[in-house]
Amino acid sequence: MNLIKPNSFVGDLIPYIPGKPVEELEREIGIRDAVKIASNENPLGPSPLAVEAVKEAVSSLNRYPDGDAFYLKEKLSSKLGISPETLIFGNGSNDVIDIAARTFMKPGDEAIFGEYAFIVYPIVTQAVGAKAVISPMPDYTHDLRDMYSRITEKTKIIFIANPNNPTGTMVKRGEFEWFLDKVPEDILVLMDEAYFEYVDDQDYPNSLEYQNTGKSILTVRTFSKIYGLAGLRLGYGIASKEIISNMQRVRQPFNSNSLSQVGAIAALDDKEHIEKTKEVNSEGLTYVTRELKKLDITYAPSYTNFVLIDIGDDPMPVYNSLLREGVIVRPVMGYGLKTHLRVTIGTAEENDKFISGIKKVLGK
């Protein structure tokens, strides 16, 4: 039987493996009231204003969504002080990243990213037949000088998550400005800022501030994290009109649904929800890292809503034991982090349950 074969670079892809639903894990293990602190979701839930807007829009689901997200584009561009023509939307920030890869890379090209960078980068790179060039990440942080040293005439995109998932670390302003000054104008610097709202550090280089420096910068952000709209799948990209125009040629029609658009418009005005989320996260991160330090558990410095911890050995026994305690965290072996677990900052009660669980599991 001569079945159709995929491209060689597609056949070799390792697919993203999602976690199981909470309900299924509870059924399998025989537990109840588990806390899921594995996916960096907002523990306070979605923006209440977004929920009300979505409820009102449900009756119009027979209509196709606005393919250009006109009202959302107007709202967001006004909030950011940018031109609407510099915005593109996608089915989550992953979709925007994929569009960029399909727009600017082809077989034989190269993309540079960190060894512990977001797992979508190698997927989209290999899916278009381009070559992944891996940069080491000492101290779990992007080494921009090393990334610069790996640039060749084949380099088309450099992926930088800032802060980075799954390590939680941050590239600081001085290093970023040094890098941006050196990088050629015809290489796309894709700044993935899915967690930027959580950063409270004056040394953070908001990439929007560098959009007019003559470099090819694509800033990618999401409504999944601080706005709590992960289930609606909506992300966006910001770049020059020329970059966005080319990406619009590749973007599929209707790649952001109508509920996500109305939800996002409302969420942008929900200052109370955003501030409360930041407050709960800041307090939770302080508490969790303080307790981890007491337990002599190594962790990476985090500027996000999660923390990467190093068990120092195979993390799966600890992961499985935490499951039986009703605590769901995230193994990250797929990122090359063989002894680590990623823990999302939850509510005070969820954080307490994690700390109690890890104490019991480790016998501390």
Say whether both 108 and 247 belong to one domain.
yes
Say whether both 353 and 255 belong to one domain.
no
Say whether both 70 and 129 belong to one domain.
yes
Q: What is the pLDDT of residue 209?
A: 96
Q: Give pLDDT tens digits for 130-182.
A: 999 999 999 999 999 999 999 999 999 999 999 999 999 999 999 999 999 99
Does residue 189 sit within a domain? yes
Does residue 80 sit within a domain? yes
Residues contacting residue 260 through CB under 8 Å, at least 6 positions apart: 223, 229, 232, 233, 234
Q: Tokens standing for 291?
A: 């307790």
Say whether both 291 and 188 belong to one domain.
no
Say whether both 221 and 158 belong to one domain.
yes
Last residue of a domain, one of 241, 267, 293: 267
Last residue of a domain, one of 248, 267, 286: 267
Using alpha carbons, select from 224, 165, 199 the residue that is nearest to residue 303: 199
Does residue 10 sit within a domain? no
Does residue 1 sit within a domain? no
Structural domain span for residue 59: 48-267
Residues of the chain predicted below pLDDT 50 = none
Q: What is the pLDDT of residue 172?
A: 97
Does residue 12 sit within a domain? no
Q: What is the pLDDT of residue 364?
A: 77
Say whether both 37 and 59 belong to one domain.
no
Q: What is the pTM of this model?
A: 0.93
Q: What is the pLDDT of residue 26?
A: 67
Q: What is the pLDDT of residue 25?
A: 65
Say whether both 235 and 277 belong to one domain.
no
Does residue 7 sit within a domain? no
Does residue 9 sit within a domain? no
Say whether both 192 and 301 belong to one domain.
no
Q: What is the pLDDT of residue 192?
A: 98
Say whether both 203 and 341 belong to one domain.
no
- 300-311 core/surface letters (b: 16 or more CB in 10 A; e: else): bebbbbbbbbbb
Q: What is the pLDDT of residue 13?
A: 67
Q: Give pLDDT tens digits for 206-239.
A: 999 999 999 999 999 999 999 999 999 999 999 9
Q: What is the pLDDT of residue 16?
A: 65
Say whether both 102 and 146 belong to one domain.
yes
Q: How far apart are CA 117 and CA 157, in angstroms?
A: 14
Q: Give residue 307's Cα distance to chain centre.
A: 14
Last residue of a domain, one of 224, 243, 267: 267
Q: Are 247 and 237 in contact (CB under 8 A)?
A: yes
Say whether both 296 and 345 belong to one domain.
yes
Does residue 5 sit within a domain? no
Number of domains the chain contains:
2
Say whether both 278 and 139 belong to one domain.
no
Instruction: Assign residue 287 the CATH number of its domain.
Output: 3.90.1150.10
Q: What is the pLDDT of residue 8?
A: 73
